[in-house]
């Protein structure tokens, strides 16, 4: 997650500045993601990698939200944000404490070992019937291009993962029911997917 450290001196306004990728991929993805978020009500939620909290803001309307981020200064919402990362959830936020562990656009910073640790930590911090909701960058389409461009143009190592591999890692972490929701980009080109695991 060393690449996420580049936001240590970033302001929340600078972090939220839109670029071409927002218009090509994230805004189209939100057409599926936001209605799913709006349907979550009455839950205690841990937002891993909360950033500035664009989705936490929506979740706050009907839920209790606590955040975890390596750069907690980015979140200006009236929520508690623990300084740390996705591999430390139990240490930071407690065991069997949450109905939902929620994470968007954070796993691209996790190498394979960190992704495994994140899924295991999420399972441990969830209540018995809790669920993990996390976006994963696709190995195909704009997902492939996004990861390659980050490395070639900006020197930033990011990661994308195959759906079957992610499902296997989730099952190894103790999740038994895994649903995949495709989050396609502009013109329906593959970009990312949302895993919902229980």
CATH number at residue 124: 3.40.50.150
What's the domain count of the chain? 1
- Per-residue pLDDT of 144-179, as tens digits, reads 999 999 999 989 999 999 999 999 999 999 999 999
Contact 186, 25 (CB under 8 A): yes
Query: E strands, 10-97, where?
Result: 44-48, 64-69, 81-83
Can you name the residues that pair with 182 across neighbouring β-strands?
193
As a 3-state breakdown, the chain gives helix, strand, coil percent values, each rounded to 5, of: 45, 20, 30
Domain of 83? 2-7+18-143+162-197
Q: Note whether residue 34 is domain-resident.
A: yes
Looking at the domain assignment, is residue 138 inside a domain?
Answer: yes
The C-alpha atoms of residue 54 and residue 34 are separated, in whole angstroms, by 10
Question: Which burial class, exposed, middle or buried, applies to 44 when counting CB atoms under 10 A from its CB (0-12, 13-18, 19+)?
Answer: middle
How many helices (H) and strands (E) the chain has is answered by 8, 7
Rama region for 174: left / alpha / beta (φ>0; ψ in -120 to 50; rest)? left
Q: What is the pLDDT of residues 9-60, one digit of tens each?
A: 555 555 556 666 777 788 889 999 999 999 999 999 999 999 999 999 999 9
57 occurs within a structural domain: yes
User: What letter would DSSP give residue 112?
Assistant: H
Q: Is 142 exposed, middle or buried (0-12, 13-18, 19+ CB in 10 A)?
A: buried
Are 183 and 194 in contact by the 8 Å Cβ rule? The answer is yes
Task: For residue 149, tell me if it sits in a domain.
Answer: no
For residue range 105-153, what is the model confidence (pLDDT) as tens digits? 999 999 999 999 999 999 999 999 999 999 999 999 999 999 999 999 9
């Amino acid at each position: 997650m060393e690449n996420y450290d580049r936001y240590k001196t970033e302001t929340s306004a600078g972090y939220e500045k839109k670029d071409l990728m927002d218009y090509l991929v994230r805004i189209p993805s939100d057409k599926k993601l936001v209605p799913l978020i709006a349907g979550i009500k009455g839950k205690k939620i841990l937002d891993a990698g909360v950033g500035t909290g664009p989705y936490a803001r929506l979740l706050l309307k009907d839920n209790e939200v606590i955040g975890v981020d390596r750069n907690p200064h980015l979140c200006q919402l009236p929520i508690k944000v623990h300084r740390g990362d996705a591999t430390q959830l139990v240490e930071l936020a407690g065991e069997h404490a949450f109905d939902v562990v929620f994470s968007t656009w954070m796993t691209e910073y996790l190498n394979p070992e960190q992704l495994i640790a994140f899924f295991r930590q999420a399972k441990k911090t969830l209540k018995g019937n809790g669920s993990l909701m996390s976006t994963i960058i696709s190995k195909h389409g704009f997902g492939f291009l996004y990861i390659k461009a980050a490395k070639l143009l900006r020197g930033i190592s990011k990661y994308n993962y195959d759906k079957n591999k992610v499902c296997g890692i989730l099952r190894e972490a103790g999740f038994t029911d895994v649903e995949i929701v495709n989050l396609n980009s502009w013109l329906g080109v593959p970009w990312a997917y949302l895993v919902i695991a229980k």
